[in-house]
Every structure is written in structure tokens, then in C-alpha cells.
Structure 1
Amino acid sequence: MTVRFGVVLPTLEIAGRGSYPVADAAVLAEELGFDSVWAVDHLAFHTGLVEPVTALAVAAAVTRRVRLGFGVLLAAMRQPAWVAKQIASLQVLSGHRVLLGVGVGGENPAEWAAAGIPRDERGRRTDVLLDALPTMLSGRAVRLPSPYDLDVPDLAPAALMPPVWIGGRSEAALTRAARRGDGWLGLWLDAGQLARRAELLGVLARHAGRPAPSVGMTVFVNVDDRDPARARREAAAFLGSVYALTPARFERYLVAGGSAEVTEQLAAMVAAGAEQLTLLPAAVDYRTQYERLALMTASLAT
């Protein structure tokens, strides 16, 4: 099994010290041999955050090979026709390199209120949008049923439907991935939890009459051979700032320490079924983390 490794771009304010060096990070990631670069999505959160379509368009302009991943897009927060228009445009301009990660979010009710979208409709809206998106991207008109109840005319440019990665760790997310996804992208899971969910994903896919989607994980990581304890402290401080959580809530999901320790933990996720590992440096100095991770992941790629 070939394992693909991607890195999350520094679209979080804390990662870029307020400067958001997305273009430089994308170039570096491609030079270091990563397969993909990813951007996270929130309208409003505990830290500043660059909008992902914009960030990935910048990354597309300065790279030629890496795939461009949404990790993950809160599609239900957006108007469907504009989602299709933006995805198609990014596909065409990038040479069809998009990986469309989609999730339902929900951690911050205020952003859903600001977008004018009922938070309790986000799952249904996501499903309806995903069902209609291939038709919209093909340039054909489509009617979206409730809760949208709207007609979308022919859109141009048309584009190929990108691979869909469904994000989340709940059974609802797994069910959505089994029915509508090419892949499933987990988060906040250790290797044991990942293995159990990967097994359930296969069962759900068989019940849906579909092949099992690929298994992926977004991993919060920090590597420092000179001071492994510092790596763990820095990662905890980073996530505390981004998610406004106490360390007790997320420490078990951190992959932080020396390179041998981090390699072992990533290898455990590969053994649990991960075919795609999306690495989010839980560190202010993303460049150093990219370089350290590139050295480590080469041995795990095959």
C-alpha cells in the first residue's frame, strides 16, 4: 500500500505569525516532495484564518504538481452555485489538482448564525450539495431539493469532479463517506480509534453497495530531536490557542516529540489503515516542521 503525505498550509494566524505565508509554504512543500497541500475552513474561529478557496488558489499559482486539498470545506455554509463555481474554477486553473474535503463542522454556532444558515440543517445541506455537485461541475442545470429548493442553471467553466474526502469522526461522517465519498478524513483519533472506524467504514460501504473509501487522517504533529519535551509543550500551546481547549482534551491525539517517537506513531496510523496522512504542524515555525517531516515520511510512504 502506498501512503500519501500532505501538509496543512499556514493559513492559521498563529502559524504564520500573522503574515499567512501560503505561497512560500506551498512552494516549499512541493520542493520537499509532499503529495498535497491542504487548507482548513472556518468563517470565524478562535484564531485568524484565511479562507481556503483563496489560499488554495494562491498555492495553485506557485506550484505545478502538488494536489490542493480542502481539509475540510464547510460547504453547507455557502451558497451551492458559488461552491460549484469556485471549485470548477480552481480545478480548471490548477490543472485539475483539487482534493475536495467536505465536513459539517458545528463547533462554533456563531459562524453559522453569521452565515445565515441554520446549524441543525448542516448535515442535510451537505448531502444535498454533494449529490448535486457532479451535475453542477459538468455544466448542466440541476434542481436542488429541500432545504435549498432552488434551480441552478448551466455553469461554466465546466470541470472534472474532484475526489471527495468526507471529514469527521462521528458515525454520521462515516456513513456520509461510505455513501458519497472517495475517501474519509479522520481527525482527533489515535491509532486504535482509527482502526475501529476504518473497519466500520468498510462495513457501511458494503451496506451501501460501494467500494470502501480510502482512509485518511489529519494529524497534529511537532518534531524536535534536540528537545522532544519542548515539541510536546509547543504543540499543546499551539492547539490550545487554535481550539481554546485545555491540554487534557487533546493531548492523546498529539503526535509530538523526537523523530523516532513521531515516526512510530505515524507508522501505527498506517498500520491502522491510513492511506493518506495530512500533517498539520502544531508549531509556529512551519518551515522547520515541513523539513523535519519530509525526512521522516519518506520511509513510511511505501
Structure 2
Amino acid sequence: MESFEIGVILPGIAVQHRDGLTLAEAARHAERAGLDGVWHGDHLAVGGPVLDAPIALATAAAATTRVRIGTSVFIPAIRPLAWAAKQVATLRYVSGERLVLGVGSGGGPAQWAAAGVPYGERGRRTDIALELLPRLLAGEPVILPEAVDPDARQPVRLAPAVEMPPVWVGNASDAAIRRAARLGDGWFPSLIPPQEVARGRVRLAELAAGHGRPAPVIAVGGAAHVGGGPAAQAEIAAGISGGYGRPLEEVAGIPLTGEPKQVAERLAEYRAAGAGHAVIGVSGGDWRAQVDLLAEVRDLLRR
């Protein structure tokens, strides 16, 4: 059976308190359960308590030895580019090169305002970041385009030098697919049906070929309550609808609920559509128990 990796979003502060576990304990539990990766989102100002992604993932990296360490997703464009590069290089170094850099340009206008970056510049700044990060991480001298005084620009050289981690470009938009085809190693859409993944796969392959590049891998982000029934599915769908401003009927079938066999069957549809990875946010139940059930789902997919 073709390989399919499953990673899990690390628990937020509220879930850590509720379930009595630290971030390091959560990362170790996911690794011991047999999952393939631990992931953390990147949010600056979302109205609630949230940890800084690079620091949280450095903690997870120090607590584990095998699993991928992933950003879901890192927003380089809200940071000065040299600082973003330094954070990525540090995570790459302390994780023993296990980092997968999921990259996005979202987060909503409030996050960009909090960072002091115009929301309308997010696409341009993201493209620049992806174009220059490999050179910055390699320790090459790079003249940054965001210098306050253009006449006083000096090359920036960062150390220690590290190899560029795999970049998975987030979002399901055509702009994201185009960015993934040109600059990414993967396409990383979240909360979309398998049919949309399949359509995106065709577009991605065509665009990548036009740039003389191989088709990037595909990873999907999902929300799950393994063992949950119709009520859990409706609750998660309502949260997706409210949180992302999408019609309820459009997202009603997105949550991954039911017994492990049913969830495995749902993820097999994504695999058939072209995905090789899933990054799952736990949306109900005890976090440790959900991780154990996701590991069972992973085993079912590999039989």
C-alpha cells in the first residue's frame, strides 16, 4: 500500500490545561504513538492566548528525535525577512533537519496590522521571502529589499548556515497553487474536499512543468474527532463555517469523524486524489486519546 503520513497539530494552551499535559509531553506522546509529525500554527494577534510558533516548535524538537517538526503555517511576511530567516535556520538546526516549513500569507487583517505590515502587501512580501530565504539560510550575502534607507543597503549574512527545509505552500487558492508550483516543494491546502485536491493536483503539475520543476507533494490539513458521531461532525463544521466565513453546506462534509476505519476510508480518498500527507487538528475528545486513535488510522491506511 502506498505510504501516507499523518501528523498532528500540537494542543493549544487551553487543551494543555484541560488535559494536564505540557507541549513537550504532547510532542513526545505523538512520537511514541507512531505519528509522523507534530505541527504548530503561527499567530500573532488572534484575540486569545497562543504560543509563538518557532519557540513552541523548538520545544517540540527538543522533546523528540524522529517526527517531522512542522509549521502550519509560518507567516514570514509579517516579520523582517532577516529575522524570519534566523528563526527558520534555528529551527532547522535544533530539530536535526526535521523541519518542514509550511508557509502562508493569511491570518486576517488584524494580524498584519499588529505586525505593522500593510495587508495588501502580503502576497508580494511572501514571494520575496520564498525567493530570498534559500540564500539567507545558506549564509550568502543578501541585500534585503526592505531596508529603511535604500541608499544605505548593506548585504546581510546570517550564520550558522543550514540547508533550506522543504517548503509547503499553504492555502487552496489559485495564487497559492501558482506559488507552490514556482517556489515550493509541496502544496498544503486545508479543509477542502478530495475533489478539490484532485483538481488542484492537475493544475499544480501543469504549472510546475511550465517552470521546469517536478510536481510538488501534496499535504492536506484537516479537523478530526475520531470516534465522534454526527453531533461532533456538526459542531466542527459550524466552527469551520464561522471561523472561515464559509457556507455551512460547503463545509458540512469536511470534518473527519466516526470510528478509525471510517476516518481511514475518508483519508484514503485524499490519498487517491494525490495527497501523501495529512496534518490533523484535533477538534474534540482527550488529546492523548485522539492521538492514539490517529495512530490507529495511520496503521489502517498502511495495510
Same fold, judged at TM 0.5 (above): yes
Cα distance in 2 for partners of 1:239, 1:103 equals 18
Cα distance in 2 for partners of 1:232, 1:144 equals 47
Structure 1 equivalent of residue 67 of structure 2: 66
Deviation at 1:256?
A: 1.5
Deviation at 1:39?
A: 0.5
Structure 2 equivalent of residue 221 of structure 1: 224
Judging changes above 3 Å, is the alpha-carbon distance between structure 1 residues 112 and 257 closer, same or farther for their aligned structure 2 residues? same
| 2:199 equivalent to 1:196 | yes
Residues 245-294 of structure 1 show CA distances to partners (whole Å, capped at 9, x for unaligned) of 78556323211222232221111111111111111111252211101111
Q: Which amino acid aligns with 1:6?
A: G
Q: Which amino acid aligns with 1:10?
A: P
What's the secondary structure of 1:15's corresponding residue? helix
TM-score by length of 1: 0.90
Cα distance in 2 for partners of 1:177, 1:286 equals 32
| 2:58 equivalent to 1:57 | yes
What's the secondary structure of 2:278's corresponding residue? strand
Comparing 276-285 with 36-45, greater Cα deviation is found at 276-285
| Unmatched tracts of structure 1, length 5 or more | none
Query: Is residue 57–residue 90 contact of structure 1 (8 Å, CA) maintained in 2?
Result: yes
Structure 1 equivalent of residue 45 of structure 2: 44
Query: Is residue 186–residue 216 contact of structure 1 (8 Å, CA) maintained in 2?
Result: yes
Judging changes above 3 Å, is the alpha-carbon distance between structure 1 residues 247 and 283 closer, same or farther for their aligned structure 2 residues? farther
Cα distance in 2 for partners of 1:156, 1:164 equals 20
Cα distance in 2 for partners of 1:147, 1:64 equals 39
Query: Is residue 5–residue 298 contact of structure 2 (8 Å, CA) maintained in 1?
Result: no
Query: Is residue 225–residue 285 contact of structure 2 (8 Å, CA) maintained in 1?
Result: no
Q: Which amino acid aligns with 1:103?
A: G
Query: Is residue 186–residue 216 contact of structure 2 (8 Å, CA) maintained in 1?
Result: yes
Q: Structure 1 residue aligned with 2:166, among 159, 163, 171?
A: 163
Taking the TM superposition and a 5 Å limit, the aligned residue runs for 1:103-252 are: 103-106=104-107, 108-145=108-145, 151-224=154-227, 228-236=229-237, 239=240, 247-248=248-249, 250-252=251-253
Cα distance in 2 for partners of 1:299, 1:186 equals 23
Comparing 80-89 with 151-160, greater Cα deviation is found at 151-160
Query: Is residue 81–residue 152 contact of structure 1 (8 Å, CA) maintained in 2?
Result: no
TM-score by length of 2: 0.90
Residues 166-222 of structure 1 show CA distances to partners (whole Å, capped at 9, x for unaligned) of 001000000000000011111121011111111111111111211100011011111
Q: What number of residue pairs does the alignment pair up?
A: 298
What's the secondary structure of 2:157's corresponding residue? coil
Cα distance in 1 for partners of 2:104, 2:9 equals 16
Deviation at 1:301?
A: 3.6
Q: What value does the CA root-mean-square deviation take over the aligned residues?
A: 2.3
| Unmatched tracts of structure 2, length 5 or more | none
Cα distance in 1 for partners of 2:85, 2:288 equals 33
Query: Is residue 3–residue 270 contact of structure 1 (8 Å, CA) maintained in 2?
Result: yes
Structure 1 equivalent of residue 300 of structure 2: 299
Q: Which amino acid aligns with 2:96?
A: G
